[in-house]
A and B are shown apart, each in its own frame.
Chain A
Amino acid sequence: MNLCAILLLLAFTTPGWGKEPEAFPDLNLADGQALKEASRVLEEEVKLAARSQTYVLIDLATKIIHIKGRGMDLHQIPIISWASNSHDHLKGIHKLTMRPAVVRRKIEPGAATEQEPIAVDDMPVDYVLTFTPALTITVVPSASADSLLKGVVFLGKAWWRQTRSLAGTLFSDQSSKQGGQLQLTVSGDHAQSLAWSLVDGMAVVIRRASNP
C-alpha cells in the first residue's frame, strides 16, 4: 500500500513522467487555427509514418525541414526564410518527381586509378523540386552565407527566375497547372544536404504558417 502511494507520488512529481507526447512543442494550444493546421499535418504524418519509408516535413511555422521516419526526427535543416503563392496548394501529401541531379563519375573497368566518389559538396545549392499533386519548391541558398560573387550570381538567377515566372503567367496557362509554389531560402551547405537526403518519390508534407 505504502509502496503504491510512493510510486503514485513519484509519477505525479517526477518531471517527464506521464508526460503526453507533443508533436509540435511550439504549438499554442489556445490557438484554434494553429491547432487545426497541426492536426491536419499530423493526420497526413500518421499515414506516412505507418509505412516503412522516410519522408519530409517542411514546418513553415518553426522554419525547420525535418527528414523523418516512423514519426522520428532523423535530421533537421533550418530554413532562413520562405515565401509561397498560395496556402491551399500546400495541403496534402506531395510526392517528389525526381531528386536533384548530380554528376556521377563513371568507373572505367580495370583502370588503375579509382574514381572520385560523389559527396555532399557535389550536390547543387540552387534547384527546383517538382511534385505530384502539382507543387513546385524552389530551394535557393542565402546570399549572405556565401561570397560576394556567389551573391551576385544568386541575385542574377533570382531575377531570371522571376522574369521567367512572370512570362509564364502572362503567356501561358502553365502557372495554373503548376499548383502551389514555395520558395525556401537555406544556407548553401543545408541546400546541398537537403538535395543529398531526397530520393525519387519521397513524400513531403507541409505545416503552413500565416506569416513567413
Chain B
Amino acid sequence: MGRIVLAAFAVILITVLVMNAPTTTSPTSGTSREVQQPRVEEKASLRMLQAKYKTLSKQLAQLMPNQPYILVDTARNRLYVKRQDEIVLDAIASTGSGTILDKPGEGNDQWIFDTPRGEFLVQSKITNPTWIKPDWAFVEEGLDLPKNSAERAEPGVLGDYALGFGKGYFIHGTLYTRLLGKNVTHGCIRLNDNDLKGVYKLARVGTPIMIF
C-alpha cells in the first residue's frame, strides 16, 4: 500500500515538474522577449519610414529639370540661366509694369501689364525679330487700330533675338537699356544685347522658364 502511494506521488511529482518545465527553466528569456519585441517593431517601422522618405525624395529630385532652365525674378528684375543649383548666366532684366489700360468699347475689360508667373517653356527662337504691334500699343498712344496688318510691323526694336514663351510674351532686347532693372514692360522680359545673346545660345525650344 505504501509502495503504491509512493509510486503515485512520484508520478504526480514528475508530471508537475514536466508541465512546469518551460516556464521554470527560462523565466528571464520570456520576459526579455516581451521587452525586445516592440523595439524590433519600432526599428522596422522606422526603417520603413526612412525608406519611404528616401523614395519620395528621389521622386521629387527626378522631377527637377536636368537641362539648363531660365529663372526670372520679377520683383528684383533679374533673369538667371541655371543648371541645377549652378548659375550659368545672371542678367538684369525689365519685367511687367503692372499698370492697366482700358480696352476700348469692351465694358470694364482691361489689359493688365504683368509678366505672367509660373512655369513656361521656350516655344520659339527667332533671330532679327520684328515687333508686330498688338492693339494695346495703339490704344496706349491714343491711335486708331490700323486696318492694314503691315502697319503693325516695327522692325529693329526687339534686339537681335527673341525667345517666345506663349500668348505673345517674349524674352527680347531693348533700345531702353537705362530702364533695365525696373518694372516697365507690358509683360515681356527685356535684356541687354549681350545677355540676350547668352540666353539665346543656352536655351533651346523646350527649355523651362520659371517666373515668380
Interface residues of A (CB under 8 A from B): 20-23, 27, 29-30, 32, 35-36, 38-39, 42-43, 45-46, 49-50, 52-54, 67, 69-72, 74-75, 102, 104-107, 109-111, 115, 117-120, 193, 196-197, 199
Binds A, one of B5-13, B24-32, B99-107, B150-158: B99-107
A110 pairs with B119, CB closer than 8 A: no
Q: A54-B118, A197-B75 are in contact. Are A117 and B53 (CB under 8 A)?
A: no
Cβ-defined partner of A21 (8 Å) among B58, B76, B184: B58
Contacts of B120 in A (CB 8 A): 52
Contacts of B139 in A (CB 8 A): 109
A22 CB, min distance to chain B CBs, angstroms: 6
A78 CB, min distance to chain B CBs, angstroms: 16
B119 pairs with A54, CB closer than 8 A: yes
Cβ-defined partner of B56 (8 Å) among A43, A75, A111: A43
Interface residues of B (CB under 8 A from A): 42, 45-46, 49-50, 52-54, 56-61, 63-65, 71, 73-76, 97-102, 112, 117-121, 139-143, 182-184, 208, 210-212
B212 pairs with A32, CB closer than 8 A: no
A104 pairs with B112, CB closer than 8 A: yes
A119 pairs with B183, CB closer than 8 A: yes
B60 pairs with A197, CB closer than 8 A: no
Cβ-defined partner of B53 (8 Å) among A39, A105, A196: A39
B212 pairs with A70, CB closer than 8 A: no
A38 pairs with B99, CB closer than 8 A: no
A117 pairs with B183, CB closer than 8 A: yes
Query: Can you list 30 A-B contacts (CB < 8 A)?
Result: A21-B60, A22-B57, A23-B53, A38-B53, A39-B53, A42-B57, A54-B117, A54-B210, A69-B118, A69-B119, A69-B210, A70-B65, A72-B210, A74-B212, A102-B98, A104-B98, A104-B112, A105-B99, A109-B141, A109-B142, A110-B142, A115-B97, A117-B99, A118-B99, A118-B183, A120-B76, A196-B75, A197-B117, A199-B117, A199-B118
Residue of A nearest to B76 (CB): A120
Q: A21-B57, A70-B65, A74-B71 are in contact. Are A106 and B99 (CB under 8 A)?
A: yes
A71 pairs with B102, CB closer than 8 A: no
A171 CB, min distance to chain B CBs, angstroms: 36
A39 pairs with B56, CB closer than 8 A: yes
Contacts of A20 in B (CB 8 A): 54, 57-58
Residue of B nearest to A75 (CB): B212
A24 CB, min distance to chain B CBs, angstroms: 8
Contacts of B64 in A (CB 8 A): 49, 70-72
How many angstroms between the C-alpha atoms of A102 and B42 in the bound complex? 52
B118 pairs with A35, CB closer than 8 A: no
A191 CB, min distance to chain B CBs, angstroms: 12
A35 pairs with B49, CB closer than 8 A: yes
A200 CB, min distance to chain B CBs, angstroms: 10
A9 CB, min distance to chain B CBs, angstroms: 25
Contacts of A199 in B (CB 8 A): 117-118
A-B interface, 8 closest residue pairs, ranked by CB to CB distance from nearest? A110-B142, A117-B97, A118-B98, A21-B61, A42-B56, A35-B49, A52-B119, A117-B183
Cβ-defined partner of B75 (8 Å) among A21, A32, A35, A120: A120
A103 CB, min distance to chain B CBs, angstroms: 10
Q: A27-B53, A35-B46, A70-B65 are in contact. Are A118 and B97 (CB under 8 A)?
A: yes
Cβ-defined partner of A53 (8 Å) among B56, B99, B119: B119
Contacts of A39 in B (CB 8 A): 49, 52-53, 56
- Not counting A54-B117, A70-B210, A193-B75, a sample of 6 additional A-B residue pairs whose C-beta atoms are within 8 angstroms of each other reads A23-B57, A23-B61, A35-B52, A70-B65, A104-B99, A107-B140
Residue of A nearest to B121 (CB): A52
